[in-house]
Amino acid sequence: MVTTAGVVAWQVLAHVMDPEIPVLSVLDLGIVRDVSESPDGRRVVVVVTPTYSGCPATEVIVSDIRTALDSAYDEVDVRVQLLPAWTTDWLSVEGRDKLRGFGIAPPAGRALLPVLGSDRPDACPQCGSREVEQLAEFGSTPCKALWRCVACREPFDYFKIL
């Protein structure tokens, strides 16, 4: 939810990076659900939804958001909201491009429009080949699976549709 309230906060949040995928900001991930600022501009409330309820990075992200906003506001309140649950549909277009550039295949498809058997990478993020195979259901984090390109033989993470 992008609003004009808290414009400074939105600008600051664009530079708060995900600790597990450091090329993505919390805005790229789509985990910032709301920002509201007090009328006097001294207090800001940020609502975040973690990528999944057990995400080990949530505490770090909340702390990083608070730290980043402390210089612009007298009071920073960061609230974690689990419902509605985060979905990969909330990833920004820029975020998907950044994942690919970082060597992680972005989710192929939409969680809100699931198609059976479609949760697989469109292509290898290294060479672009469509010939890929799954090595493991879980990759470097629980929200990613480990895949390998048949053409270039490089392993890569795939950000699963959630």
Let me know whether 97 and 140 are in one domain. yes
Let me know whether 12 and 73 are in one domain. yes
* pLDDT number for residue 82: 94
Q: Is there a domain that residue 143 lies in? A: yes
End-to-end CA distance of the chain: 19
Range of the domain at 16: 7-80
Number of domains present in the structure of the chain: 2
More confident residue, 91 or 111: 91
Strands of the 32-37 sheet, one edge to the other: 32-37, 43-48, 75-80
More confident residue, 120 or 27: 27
Burial 66-76 (b: 16+ CB within 10 A, else e): bebbeebbeeb
More confident residue, 109 or 113: 109
CATH of the domain at 18: 3.30.300.130
Q: Is there a domain that residue 85 lies in? A: no
Let me know whether 11 and 45 are in one domain. yes
Let me know whether 73 and 114 are in one domain. no
E strands, the chain, are 32-37, 43-48, 75-80, 104-105, 132-136, 144-149, 155-159
CA angle centred on 71, ends 21 and 22, rounded to 5°: 5
Q: Is there a domain that residue 153 lies in? A: yes
Q: How far, in Å, are 18, 32, 69, 74, 93 from residue 79 at the CA level?
A: 17, 10, 14, 17, 25
Last residue of a domain, one of 26, 54, 80: 80
Res. 2 pLDDT band, cuts 50 70 90: very low
